[in-house]
Structure 1
Amino acid sequence: MNSSEETAIAILGWLANEPELLGRFLALTGTDPSSLRHAAADPGFLAGVVDFLMGHEPTLLAFCAATGTRPEDVVRAHAVLSGPDNPGDF
């Protein structure tokens, strides 16, 4: 597992402790709680986890404050997981 994947897993773990955000994420992705562990093995899903956080700066900053993660590490994970053909909006 690379550092970008580790960042995405950390985001997912943080979301698990934020019921309102987790519910929103699950609704947007169409994923149910019972399939999260399996989905987390999919790089495309991990890209979606990071993308979810990148889409709302207050949520990004809340994650970073709660976990001690630097925002630029999340940006880097987003770029790596999204790939060169899908750079995202940042």
Structure 2
Amino acid sequence: MPIRDRHTSDPSAIGIAALSFLAADPVLMRRFLDLSGYQADQLRAEAEKPSFFVALLDFILAHEPTVMQFASFAEIDPAAVGQAREG
């Protein structure tokens, strides 16, 4: 799910792209759920809360290869992920 502005650090756009990224990878999604304590059926409701995207970006940022995979998936600069987290 490419983001229109490759240099964006818009937390909302990057957060939504991050959720799409995880949804496309069942193994990574399962790991996020296991580590975060969220349940799959909670994701829709939780995605309406800014704290959810903070947790999601923290998960991605904790593993550099995942950051790089996500940046490639979203077609953004990898640094934008950290900027969005600070957002």
- Smaller-chain TM-score range? 0.7 to 0.9
Please, which runs of 5 or more residues in structure 1 have no aligned partner?
A: 81-90
Letter of the aligned partner of 2:66 in structure 1? T
Q: How does 1:4-15 map to 2 (within 5 A)?
A: 4-15=11-22
Moved more, 29-38 or 15-24: 29-38
Give the deviation of 1:45 after TM superposition.
1.1
Aligned residue pair count: 79
Q: How does 1:6-85 map to 2 (within 5 A)?
A: 6-80=13-87
The TM-score with structure 2 as length reference comes to 0.84
Distance (whole Å) between structure 2 residues aligned to residue 45 and residue 12 of structure 1: 10
Which of the pair has the greater relative contact order for Cα pairs under 8 Å at 6+ separation?
2
The TM-score with structure 1 as length reference comes to 0.82
Distance (whole Å) between structure 2 residues aligned to residue 67 and residue 5 of structure 1: 13
Distance (whole Å) between structure 1 residues aligned to residue 69 and residue 39 of structure 2: 24
Give the deviation of 1:15 after TM superposition.
0.3
Letter of the aligned partner of 1:47 in structure 2? V
Moved over 6 A (4+): none
C-alpha RMSD of matched pairs (Å): 1.3
Please, which runs of 5 or more residues in structure 2 have no aligned partner?
A: 1-8
